[in-house]
Amino acid sequence: MSELLQMYLMFFRMGAVTFGGGYAMLPILRREIIQSRQWMDEETIMDYYALSQGLPGIIAVNVAVFIGYYRKKVPGALAAALGVVSPCILIITVIYYLLSGFQENPYVRHALAGISVCVVALILDAILSMWKKGVKDIPCVLICAFAFVVSAFTKFSPILLVILCAFIGIGIRTFLTAKKGGTGK
Amino acid sequence: MIYLQLFWEFLQIGIFAVGGGMATIPFLQHLSESTGWFPPSLITDMVAISESTPGPIGINMATYVGCAIAGIPGGIIATLGEVLPSVVIVSVVSMYLTKFRGNKLVDSAFYGLRPAVTGLIVAAGLSVAQVAMFRTELYKQTGAILDLFDLKKLVFFVLVFAAIKKFKLHPIAYIACAAVVGILLGF
């Protein structure tokens, strides 16, 4: 099977089973891309998530386009983007015309309640592994805590927050290398 | 030419709505007011349905509103319009990113970005957890701390997490099981 078709089908599957958009997609993405296919490593996916936050557009689509482009340039980007949105178009169109009031159906509500608990567990698993890969020293722990507190307790824009943390990263690294290099000068 | 206009409107939403699906809501409200294509009351239905169906919320909302304005072709056109800017912008960024890989400044920026994303996802996960497993409304009414915890769901959460760690199945398997458990136990 050509990789483009594989890319489309993989993101189609992802679009069809993730409830709640970008973050909920992460566990499936890690499984399919890092573990099963080994298309890229965990750090690269984290970088793409970070960039997707700060760019215009829907986060899940941005992440998909990054991965598609990484593998197959523009055709890959298109295949990935179309893959994520295809199931949405199908499902929402059907619901719009056939199933008005479906979200009030008790079975649907119970199933969704069960799924949302499961999604929390999946996200927790993803967080633990991201922590291992991305949070390597004390400054990282502080940046992580800072991002968490700002995001959870204030209405500060996540885009500005991401940009700010990029600059904090640059600042800390510059400071650390200057300190190390300082004795040599 | 309603389709062209629709495409143009959603293209703009795709460019300017920074921060994911929910960020498109103000734009849709504005669209309703400025064009009269659909009543503002539609937005509430749209959010409810978009949140209870799979797929990114922003995309679901675009399809829904597109359908309401111009039928099935409308749904497709609105969705593609909203996605197109992402494809262009992200491709361009990717192009430059490969060039600047290994650049000290870019690497240092990512050094700060990775823990930041982890922090953001912890916050997002907590807000999902709050809705999914805690009865904050009931707690506010009664003030009894035990009312805050939905024990059935907490036990289920621990079991799911243990299963994820032990079996390493595909996430879809857990999601499917959770839907069945939710129905059987009447979550």
The full set of domain ranges for chain B reads 2-100, 102-133, 135-187
Q: Is A166 helix (H, G, I), strand (E, B) or coil?
A: helix
Cβ under 8 Å to A: B residues 108-147? 108-129, 131-133
CB contact, 8 Å: B179 with chain A?
yes
Q: What is the domain extent for residue A115?
A: 3-133
Which residue positions in chain B have pLDDT lower than 70? 18-22
Residue B104: its pLDDT value, please?
A: 87
Task: Give the H/E segment covering residue B41.
Answer: none
Nearest CA to B185 out of A106, A163, A121, A120 is that of A106
Number of domains forming the structure of chain A: 2
Q: What would the pLDDT profile of B31-61 be if each residue is shown by its tens digit?
A: 888 888 988 888 877 887 887 788 888 899 9
B111 neighbors A168 (Cβ within 8 angstroms): no
Regarding whether A84 and A11 lie in a shared domain, the answer is: yes
Regarding whether A139 and A129 lie in a shared domain, the answer is: no
Residue A185: its pLDDT value, please?
A: 37
Regarding whether A95 and A57 lie in a shared domain, the answer is: yes
A–B interface: beta-carbon pairs under 8 A:
360
CB contact, 8 Å: B89 with chain A?
yes
Q: Is pLDDT of A167 > 90?
A: yes
* CA-based nearest residue in chain A for residue B162: A121
Residues of A in contact with B70 (CB under 8 A): none
Residues of B in contact with A86 (CB under 8 A): none
Regarding whether A129 and A149 lie in a shared domain, the answer is: no
Using CA atoms, how far apart are residues A157 and A146, in angstroms rounded to an integer? 14
Average pLDDT over residues A43-47: 87
Our CA angle for B66, B72, B73, nearest 5°, is 80
Regarding whether A149 and A114 lie in a shared domain, the answer is: no
Between A110 and B46, residue with greater pLDDT: A110
Alpha-carbon dihedral angle through residues A137, A139, A145, A150, given to the nearest 10 degrees: -150
Tell which of A133, A149, A173 closes a domain: A133
Regarding whether A144 and A124 lie in a shared domain, the answer is: no
B156 neighbors B143 (Cβ within 8 angstroms): no
Regarding whether A114 and A154 lie in a shared domain, the answer is: no
* CA-based nearest residue in chain A for residue B131: A116
Regarding whether A76 and A107 lie in a shared domain, the answer is: yes
Regarding whether A64 and A45 lie in a shared domain, the answer is: yes
Q: Which two tokens stand for residue A174?
A: 């510059």
Q: Is pLDDT of A168 > 80?
A: yes
CB contact, 8 Å: B102 with chain A?
no
Q: Is pLDDT of A184 > 50?
A: no
CB atoms within 10 A of CB B101: 12
Q: Which two tokens stand for residue A103?
A: 């979200």
